[in-house]
Amino acid sequence: MAKALRSTRVLTPDGIAPAAVIVDHERITALEGWNAVPGSAELFDFGDLVLLPGLVDSHVHINEPGRAEWEGFETATQAAASGGVTTLVDMPLNCVPETTHVSALEAKRSAAQGKAWVDWAAWGGAVSGNAESLPSLVRAGVPGFKCFLIHSGIDGFRWVDETDLRAALEKLRGAGLPLLAHAEVPGPVDAATQALDRMSADWRKYSTYLRSRPDAAEIEAIALLIRLAEEFQTPIHIVHLSSAQALPLLRHARQRGVPVTVETCAHYLWFDAAEIPHGATQYKCAPPIRDAGNREKLWSALNEGLIQMVITDHSPCPPEMKRREEGRWDLAWGGIASLGLALPVLWTGMKQRGIALQRIGAWMAAAPARLAGMSGRKGVIAVGADADFAVFDPDARWTVAPSDLHFRHQISPYLNAELHGRVRETWLRGAPVFRAGAYPGEARGREQVHS
């Protein structure tokens, strides 16, 4: 039996308007007027709650197989569903084996069996020395590749220099798949760290960590990546941009038609370096959270379209690896846990800046879906797309408590944050997977294999 999901506020590519979305066999089959629900359809009336497309988070570290004690498919995908996210794309590191060859991808597929509550895909890894493995990963269905231009923290995921990048781009030429890059180079980071150590800087202070990851590391990396994207005419995607000082370079590149796209994280749009307490290593990420002026420039770039999407870079670890007793930023594991919170965090920031809710559709759904090769199928309310939805109450107000965190370890810099907007239900391919704080049904998530 067909279903009709009705609201006075449905977000489609045309904006927010009253509508009834008709769903049959996991897909959206029609968009009708609010009053035109077919008599044969089962009606779900959401009143004035906003019906958003299911969100797509193209930057998540699920860490399974191999480090399921850090996170895992079950907890990550439930956390996603609690925040209206219906598709995750997993990063190829922090799992064991790293997803740098086809047998590792097969191990990930086995690990996900029966545990995924939302749909997912896996980025392949481009590391120093594995260029020969990239074509087979393309054939096996990855939507693109992730690389690091600096040490990743994982010895098995080797960072790439220009020679390695050229080898990878040579293999990707013409494939149409993006190369995603962690854009910091080691030179400025190493120099800054050595200088801080010479002056015996206090590594409990956030300002010490911030100075150890200067803007120059991002700027140099992005300049190199732009040069290569232009030369190879192969899409390069800058993950988690933090430094607003790189924006002029990116603007100039995009004006020239260089195939470069950019994401930033909810945490760079929310936190201010000046307010991060000493020793509060739950805020550690790389590149680092910078000052409020930088944050406002990222918001402007998002508004302008220079940054196309907002993702979480959810990257948790066991609590002991945050080393809170010592509180040393140089010793703590980096990575911010936030899966499930990005929509209210972003919406709260948008309200403060007078930005219309409808822009969520591009920033958190359509653009990351496009990056992962899922355009038209994921991240949009349109005929033919998967019937994935987030039912969102934009007027709800709440304070983040540990019980609101559905991922494995209840540690996050967003604890106690006061947010606007709350996800009431999440639907995956035509049926709810999250409703009133619970997970009805079973784990129905499927891998979205790229073809």
In whole angstroms, what is the distance from residue 137 CA to residue 404 CA? Answer: 37
- Whether 118 contacts 149, CB under 8 Å: no
In whole angstroms, what is the distance from residue 351 CA to residue 345 CA? Answer: 10
Q: Give the CA angle between residues 327, 333, 338 to the nearest 5°.
A: 100
Output 37 or 309, the one with its CB closest to Zn ion.
Answer: 309
Output 239 or 367, the one with its CB closest to Zn ion.
Answer: 239
Nearest to Zn ion by Cβ — which residue?
313
Q: Which among 207-215, 310-318, 326-334, 348-356 is the span making contact with Zn ion, rule CB under 5 A? A: 310-318
* Cβ 335 to Zn ion shortest distance, Å: 7
Q: Which among 50-58, 82-90, 210-218, 308-316 is the span making contact with Zn ion, rule CB under 5 A? A: 308-316
* Cβ 423 to Zn ion shortest distance, Å: 23
* Cβ 364 to Zn ion shortest distance, Å: 17
Nearest alpha-carbon partner for 29 in 16, 20, 18:
20
Output 9 or 237, the one with its CB closest to Zn ion.
Answer: 237
Q: Which among 17-25, 122-130, 225-233, 312-320 is the span making contact with Zn ion, rule CB under 5 A? A: 312-320
313: contact with Zn ion by CB under 5 A: yes
In whole angstroms, what is the distance from residue 448 CA to residue 220 CA? Answer: 34
Nearest alpha-carbon partner for 186 in 228, 151, 153:
151
Output 22 or 298, the one with its CB closest to Zn ion.
Answer: 298
In whole angstroms, what is the distance from residue 7 CA to residue 60 CA? Answer: 30
Output 71 or 313, the one with its CB closest to Zn ion.
Answer: 313
Sorted by sequence, the CB contacts under 8 Å of residue 52 that are 6+ apart come out as: 11, 84, 343, 360, 361, 365, 381, 389, 390, 391, 392
* Cβ 70 to Zn ion shortest distance, Å: 13
From residue 23, alpha-carbon distances to 119, 329, 359 in Å are 18, 49, 24
* Cβ 231 to Zn ion shortest distance, Å: 26
Output 313 or 425, the one with its CB closest to Zn ion.
Answer: 313
* Cβ 242 to Zn ion shortest distance, Å: 12
172: three-class secondary structure by DSSP? helix
One character per residue 262-301, x = contact with Zn ion (rule: CB under 5 A): ----------------------------------------
Residues 151-210 that bind Zn ion (CB under 5 A): none
How is the beta sheet containing 309-311 ordered, strand by strand? 124-125, 145-148, 179-182, 236-238, 260-265, 309-311
Residues in binding contact with Zn ion, number by CB under 5 A: 1
* Cβ 60 to Zn ion shortest distance, Å: 8
Radius of gyration of the chain (CA): 21
Interface with Zn ion (CB under 5 A)? 313
